[in-house]
Structure 1
């Protein structure tokens, strides 16, 4: 159930920087959370990107980060579910083994009771025949 959460090919996140195309350079910008966020800037001869495009890149980076966090959380939850499933399967196997052992014990108990009853009957018959 794992999804690949990647940015489009023109937006690649590498080691904390956001790269657009080869003719841009990356300028680090502080994020609201105090971490380092990257914002693309076109090389000197092309000028700055319009504010709207920079904002779109920033929003895409934030969305990408959130998707990565969500993906990691889902993977962690899936792992926890798998571990719980394994523990439940082990408990089920142990319970079945114990149930089978109890069934065998009941079978032996019934056999013993039947034999004791037969011995009592034979003993009673013998004592009656002696009289």
Structure 2
């Protein structure tokens, strides 16, 4: 995975529609936030949010999957979005294989960490997004 060479304010990465996508998204997010000099607390919150959003896209939506990160300089916030191809006709392998008490808490986690979050539908699918407050190291 290549790392961004400059601390851009907008980053988009296309991810494989597979269970490993959440780990890849965490690696990308950690590298980008390091370039943005985000503090450890901000990075940890962002990694959890991104992981939940990407996992939901892989388990409940069609491909493609894309991770979007945006640094909002005004207000010191980070906007994270995960775009997918829209709802899948059936859930992914992990969701189907586990009991009800083993899943379903992802958006509760996002709600606890984000200052705002939501969903936007568009002609190519859906983008689930969250915004967190950011502080620098």
Which category describes the TM-score, using the shorter chain as reference length?
A: under 0.3
> Rg larger in 1 or in 2?
1
| TM-score of the superposed pair, with normalisation by structure 2 | 0.27
User: Where is the strand percentage greater, Structure 1 or Structure 2?
Assistant: 2
Higher relative contact order (CA 8 A, sep 6+): 2
| TM-score of the superposed pair, with normalisation by structure 1 | 0.28
